[in-house]
């Protein structure tokens, strides 16, 4: 039996941030991360200014330029066929970053471990509430903690029952491949709207690039037909298709990409953070950096609660939900900029009927 102040399940960015914040307040923390390869997107973009937050929490080593690439701008064909460049040189927050997401997650876990957090690379099972906290199993060990932080991702949830239900605001999914990048793809994240969704491409540090088509789940063909269907649509793009070179062995993988919110973000001595709490539209590049910010704040709020001040947990949840409200409102604004395909089911869903843009009052359950 292992007793700690807090058990954090999930060694992604939000879990690492929560564990580190608790550890730096003097609490014993166990970070449990599945030792299997995480099924995450190969590449991801951090917006301008995000690098400063990452470094302030994890140190300079978290954004090793030999592993990740600085992003100097983004470009998009949205609302018209014209590709419009936004150069970060004029942004007061500076450049963004193109991440190798798997390497980024692994690097944060190693940083947290070196700073003194106990890391268990195993799957957490059998979570149960007990009188003074939570118990669970991992790596043939029984573990108890006064607090449980569920950072296990959108594939969870760890906490069972009604607390796990989610509100989903759309049906979006991503069909993603990793391809060889042409030189024109190596500097910018590129977005291109098309009649049945939108494309996204971002470079990886190794001369390759992520290419993704965002569509609604009910519009996607069966899995056996997706590869050819995806390639045909890539060839029909005006911009994205010219950024990459595909070979016959490129795999097309499907990932959930909807915006969603867990019905309950915290309860008796537990809280959810990162994708386990709220998932964000990939259009915003908001998921990773928000997970880090709110993970760190959650760790601090739990430490305050252990010292007798529980107000921080309520403030953390209030701000988390406010960020989602703002995200939904801004997302709707961007959706409405694209009016070229009024007959498209994908776009009519977004530009026809107003989206739910408030979390005040009851919401439909998933």
Q: What is the pLDDT of residue 39?
A: 55
Evaluate if residue 169 carries a pLDDT over 70: yes
Structural domains counted in the chain: 1
Give 356's pLDDT tier (boundaries 50, 70, 90): very low
Give 186's pLDDT tier (boundaries 50, 70, 90): low
Give 359's pLDDT tier (boundaries 50, 70, 90): very low
Q: What is the DSSP letter of 246?
A: -
The mean pLDDT value of the chain amounts to: 89
Average pLDDT over residues 348-361: 58
Tokens of 78: 């949205």
Lowest mean pLDDT among 84-93, 296-305, 327-336: 84-93
| Residue 93 Cα to chain centre, angstroms | 21
In a domain, residue 246? The reply is no
Give 296's pLDDT tier (boundaries 50, 70, 90): very high
Lowest mean pLDDT among 37-51, 85-99, 115-129, 281-295: 37-51
Evaluate if residue 38 carries a pLDDT over 80: no
Higher pLDDT, 77 or 86: 77
Average pLDDT over residues 204-212: 86
Of 323, 310, 319, 325, the closest CA to residue 267 belongs to 310
| Residue 349 Cα to chain centre, angstroms | 23
CATH code of 35's domain? 3.50.50.60
Evaluate if residue 237 carries a pLDDT over 90: yes
In a domain, residue 302? The reply is yes
In a domain, residue 274? The reply is yes
Average pLDDT over residues 224-243: 94
In a domain, residue 245? The reply is no
Q: What is the pLDDT of residue 160?
A: 63
Q: What is the pLDDT of residue 365?
A: 40
277 touches 261 (CB < 8 A): yes
Q: Which stretches of 29-69 are DSSP H helices?
A: 50-58
Residue 35 half-sphere exposure toward CB, CA atoms < 13 A: 7
In a domain, residue 362? The reply is no
In a domain, residue 79? The reply is no
Cα torsion 71, 321, 9, 279: sign: negative
Q: What is the pLDDT of residue 177?
A: 93
Q: What is the pLDDT of residue 240?
A: 95
Q: What is the pLDDT of residue 354?
A: 46
Average pLDDT over residues 148-175: 84
Q: What is the pLDDT of residue 70?
A: 84
Q: ∠ at Cα 188 (42, 194), nearest 5°?
A: 80
Name the percent of the chain lying above pLDDT 90.
69
In a domain, residue 358? The reply is no
pLDDT tens per residue across span 245-264: 988 788 899 999 999 999 99
Range of the domain at 43: 2-66+100-168+261-321
Q: ∠ at Cα 357 (353, 360), nearest 5°?
A: 130
Q: What is the pLDDT of residue 86?
A: 86
Q: What is the pLDDT of residue 89?
A: 74
Evaluate if residue 363 carries a pLDDT over 60: no
pTM: 0.91
In a domain, residue 112? The reply is yes
């Amino acid at each position: 039996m292992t007793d700690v102040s807090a058990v954090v399940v999930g060694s992604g960015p939000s879990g690492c941030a929560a564990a580190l914040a608790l550890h730096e307040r003097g609490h014993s923390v166990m970070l449990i991360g599945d030792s299997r390869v995480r099924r995450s997107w190969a590449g991801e973009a951090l917006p301008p200014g995000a690098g400063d937050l990452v470094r302030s929490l994890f140190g300079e080593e978290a954004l090793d330029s030999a592993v990740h690439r600085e992003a100097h701008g983004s470009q998009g064909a949205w609302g018209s066929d014209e590709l419009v460049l936004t150069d970060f040189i004029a942004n007061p927050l500076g450049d963004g970053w193109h991440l190798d997401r798997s390497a980024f997650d692994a690097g944060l876990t190693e940083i947290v471990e070196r700073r003194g957090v106990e890391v268990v690379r195993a799957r957490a099972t059998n979570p149960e509430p007990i009188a003074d906290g939570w118990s669970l199993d991992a790596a043939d060990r029984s573990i108890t903690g006064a607090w449980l932080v569920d950072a296990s991702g959108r594939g969870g949830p760890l906490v069972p029952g009604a607390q796990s239900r989610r509100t989903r605001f759309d049906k979006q999914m991503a069909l993603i491949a990793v391809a060889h990048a042409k030189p024109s793809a190596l500097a910018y994240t590129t977005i291109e709207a098309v009649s049945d969704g939108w494309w996204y491409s971002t470079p990886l540090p190794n001369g390759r690039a992520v290419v993704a088509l965002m569509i609604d789940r009910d519009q996607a063909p069966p899995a056996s037909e997706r590869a050819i269907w995806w390639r045909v649509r890539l060839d029909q793009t005006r911009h994205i298709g010219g950024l990459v070179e595909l070979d016959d062995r490129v795999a097309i993988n499907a990932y959930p990409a909807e915006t969603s919110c867990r019905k309950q973000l915290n309860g008796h001595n537990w809280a959810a953070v990162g994708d386990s709490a709220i998932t964000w539209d990939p259009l915003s590049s908001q998921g990773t950096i928000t997970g880090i910010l709110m993970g760190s704040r959650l760790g601090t709020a739990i430490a305050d609660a252990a010292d007798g001040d529980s107000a921080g947990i309520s403030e953390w949840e209030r701000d988390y939900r406010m960020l989602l409200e703002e995200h939904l409102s801004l997302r709707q604004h961007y959706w409405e900029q694209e009016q070229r395909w009024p007959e498209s089911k994908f776009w009519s869903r977004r530009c026809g009927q107003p989206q739910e843009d408030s979390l005040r009052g009851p919401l439909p359950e998933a």
